[in-house]
Amino acid sequence: MSRRAGLVAIALTGCAAIVMAQAPRRSVWDSVYTAEQGRKGEALATAQCVVCHGDGLRGGESAPPLTGDQFNSTWEGVPLSDLADRIRMTMPLDTPGTLSRPQTAELLAYMLSLSKIPAGTMPLPPDAGALAQITYLSYPPQP
Amino acid sequence: MTKTHVKSVAVAAVVATASLAGFAQSRAFSPGSANTEWKTYGGDLRSTRYSPLAQINKDNFSKLEVAWRFKTDALGPRPEFNLQSTPLMVGGVLYSTGGTRRAVVALDAGTGEMRWMYSLNEGKRGESAPRQLSGRGLAYWTDGRQERIVYVTPGYQMIALDAKTGRPVPGFGQNGIVDLKLNIDQEMDPVTGEIGLHAAPIISGDVVIVGAAHLPGSIPSRRDNDNGYVRGFDVRTGKRLWIFHTIPKPGQPGIETWEGTSAEQSGNAGVWAQMSIDEELGLVYLPVELPTGDYYGGHRPGNGLYGESIVAVEIKTGKKRWHYQLVHHGIWDSDIPCAPILADIVVDGRMIKALAQPTKQGWVYVLDRATGVPVWPIEERAVEASTVPGEKASPTQPFVTKPPAFAKQGVAIDDLIDFTPALRAEAVKLAARYKIGPLFTPPVASKWEGPLATLMMPSTTGGANWQGGALDPETNYLYVYSSNQISDLALIESDGKRSDMRYVRGTARNPAAPPAALPAAGAAGGEAAPPVLVQGLPLVKPPYATISALDINKGDLVWQIAHGETPDNIRNHPALKGLTIPRTGRIGRIGVLATKTLLIAGEAGFFTTPSGQRGAMLRAYDKASGKEVGEVYMPAPQTGSPMTYMLNGRQYLIVSISGGTYSGELVAFRLPQDATTTN
């Protein structure tokens, strides 16, 4: 490959990367998780989360709700990757860092199901890059 | 009456007024006028959260700029996102807890530079603690020669540090540490014993007083959970001086309020909130939570003293002087969540040493703090009986007649969202699946066909909560932040695996829902109840969060405002397009600060500012009217109650902020140099 052709290839690769980065963002209302993930997430939450966050993750005395008004006020418009990172790094309080990325995605799926956000056929991806493309919204966006 | 008589009566009235004013005045300035420090969690032992400082005022508040920031990430093994600290400032040094392991730091109060840091790695004991993270604060003690910082670790150990060096004080307990799981009048596992404390200890003279907290009690694993007794210790040696049994032992007064052996078979009843102290009366005021089982009392029949009671005990002996139960046989988690605020009030010309207790249920209970007698009538009124099997709810509850409630109490159709007729109709349809009613409507055993739950307001977390309120001792106006939020409160039969209670908090599932697949192990399966939201909007009408001013000389509500700009999810909601929505307030746990000139409080949650920044505002209000007089941007919500001090001629405001993806940070605000000289 000539030096010039190499430069062109690099430039084209760069363009492709930019195009990928600018892929249209989705919201949680675009059927981004499966019901099965939600059920697995519920089992995890029952074992590890409800003791502090309460039944249905409605919030406890010293742990915030993970659904509802207060949750929406904090996380509206935020990419799911941020929420996943927060869970992965800090929870559960007694053994933080022990949840795998797929488990974290299952918990997110459960949280979405609690808000009656519809499930679909494609599972919520566990990797941060893909989650970064999905925005949390508490209501369906208008077309 | 002759003219002479009239004149003499008038003179007498003037004299009386003057003496009353003098009474209020002498009280008003005793805590803070001699210095400009902040020596206790609540600003003073009376928990007024008041400072006489006046440099920051309505004309310059919006000019505040960040003096320094202190990030707490590296104080523990991982960042913390819920920093609740109110620091202390003594002698130019700021002391705070911070970090996931609850370290203590001493910072230069002018620059934020760290002088020392102390952290104890408690291993498994800390990891299994019921109240983790950085806690709310610490206590300062001096005898004029030694200076100590005293705090409680997540693993429930009380540590005394040398305030100058940060080193544990050798003569206190064992090498500076008192193991609070010992000498507590019950057997307790040193590692897994379910007890801890978020609150700061409180110190009077040479006595340090410590409460107790447990895991939230909606699904308690054991009905005979550990007891949350309150103890006094010698601050010099760490030796236990006394213990107060918040659930009486056999033979002790109050045991008659427990049927059968239920007292011995119940736990909790801790004091997880801050306490207050009247040093002249020699009393410490304990705001007690309810016994085990936040929503089901079937295993503890009776009114259950001292659950949900304010108890006044002697600082030096722990001997009870009086008690007043705010809720009998609690089944709504009406834990008394914050410090009672001590105020010297004048009611109909009579001077009263009073105590004002903000609560989750939306009332401020005003009592004579020497006797425990209500200042205004608190009436026993009949309330609805429970239908949950085994539950014997109290037939009456105490109702405060004055001052008016600062939060919405109970749920009626008129309380439901009404931005549009369609939203109201949807709300009414949703509410039809639930039981609604006034305050003290009992929880129900949940049924899918209805009622799914009792809609409860204030919610199970209030109303007020741990952040409490503030008091201006010059006017006896009490300020309190509160949320108007609905809880769907219901019980389900326990499966015996997670709890040995007969009923625990939970909501019925749709038994007829065809499972798309077998439920995962541990999950309930079936269709869950809907969230109590209408198209993602709160079921209840705004305001969602308020600050109220109560005149506790008169027992009146003076003003109430929504606190917090409308959140994005409501401002941008498609169903509300074209509507003008007044500021709704935002829900959180917001402590307020009263100064000579202002009432100050940061916002909860996030919103997007007009300039496109995501964050929250620190707001200042006129104390007399509630009118907003200034605002300053913060990158994250307030999560710890603010405090203030003066150093080298400049007033500082410190706020703990965190939340969402923003980790814990202390932010210090002050005026630009030129602004301090022109005002």
Q: How many CB atoms lie within 10 A of CB B316?
A: 15
Q: How far is CA B373 from CA B112, B325, B358, B377, in A?
A: 46, 11, 16, 9
Cα pseudo-dihedral A31, A35, A41, A45, rounded to 10: 100
Angle between helices A80-90 and A101-114 (to 10 degrees): 120
- Comparing CB atoms, the residue among B80, B215, B505 nearest residue A55 is B505
- ipTM (interface pTM): 0.81
- Tell me: cis bond preceding B118? Omega within 30 of 0 counts: no
Record the pTM.
Answer: 0.92
**Distance, in angstroms, between A82 CA and closest chain B CA?**
7
CB contact under 8 Å between B219 and A55, yes or no, is yes
Q: How far is CA A108 from CA A72, A86, B380, B443, B538, in A?
A: 14, 11, 46, 29, 21
Residues B271, B288: Cα–Cα separation, whole Å = 5
B506 touches chain A (CB under 8 A): yes
How would residue B511 be classed by pLDDT, with cut points 50, 70 and 90? confident
B1 touches chain A (CB under 8 A): no
The DSSP symbol for A132 reads T
**Distance, in angstroms, between A8 CA and closest chain B CA?**
38
Q: How far is CA B642 from CA B49, B105, B548, B618, B656, in A?
A: 9, 17, 17, 10, 7
**pLDDT at residue B523, rounded to an integer:** 52
| Span B588-641, pLDDT tens digits | 999 999 999 999 999 999 999 989 999 999 999 999 999 999 999 999 999 999
Residue B30 φ then ψ, to 5° = -65, -35
Instruction: Find chain B residues with C-beta within 8 A of A111's C-beta.
Output: none
Average pLDDT over residues B163-186: 98
Q: Pick from A27, A40, A49, A73 the residue to mutate for testing the B interface (most B CBs within 10 Å).
A: A73
A97 touches chain B (CB under 8 A): yes
Q: Quick one: what percent of chain B has pLDDT higher than 70?
A: 92
B646 touches chain A (CB under 8 A): no
Helix, strand and coil in chain A, % to nearest 5 = 55, 5, 40
More confident residue, B142 or B522: B142
Portion 121-150 of B in contact with A at CB < 8 A:
127-128, 131-133
Cα pseudo-dihedral B667, B672, B673, B678, rounded to 10: -130
A120 touches chain B (CB under 8 A): no
| Span B523-575, pLDDT tens digits | 555 677 878 999 989 999 999 999 999 999 999 999 999 999 999 999 999 99
3-class SS of residue A48: helix
Give, rounded to a whole angstrom, the gap between the first and last alpha carbons of chain A.
Answer: 47
How would residue B35 be classed by pLDDT, with cut points 50, 70 and 90? low
Q: How far is CA A1 from CA A5, B55, B421, in A?
A: 6, 71, 69
Q: Pick from A62, A90, A94, A98 the residue to mutate for testing the B interface (most B CBs within 10 Å).
A: A62
Long-range contacts from A60-68, C-beta under 8 angstroms, 24+ separation:
A60/B216, A60/B218, A60/B461, A61/B216, A61/B272, A61/B333, A61/B335, A61/B461, A62/B131, A62/B198, A62/B216, A63/B216, A64/B82, A66/A111, A66/A114, A67/A111, A67/A114, A67/A115, A67/B531, A68/B531, A68/B532, A68/B533, A68/B538
Paired with B158 in beta bridges are: B152, B178
Least confident of B82-91, B239-248, B516-525: B516-525
Residues B590, B601: Cα–Cα separation, whole Å = 7
Paired with B240 in beta bridges are: B233
Residue B255 φ then ψ, to 5° = -65, -25
Q: What does the angle CA B416 – CA A117 – CA A74 come to, to the nearest 5 degrees?
A: 70
CB contact under 8 Å between A89 and B78, yes or no, is yes
Which run of H or E residues covers position A86? helix A80-90
Q: Pick from B215, B483, B587, B663 the residue to mutate for testing the A interface (most A CBs within 10 Å).
A: B587
CB contact under 8 Å between A69 and B525, yes or no, is no
**Distance, in angstroms, between B174 CA and closest chain A CA?**
26
Q: Report the chain B residue with the minimal C-alpha distance to residue A89.
A: B78
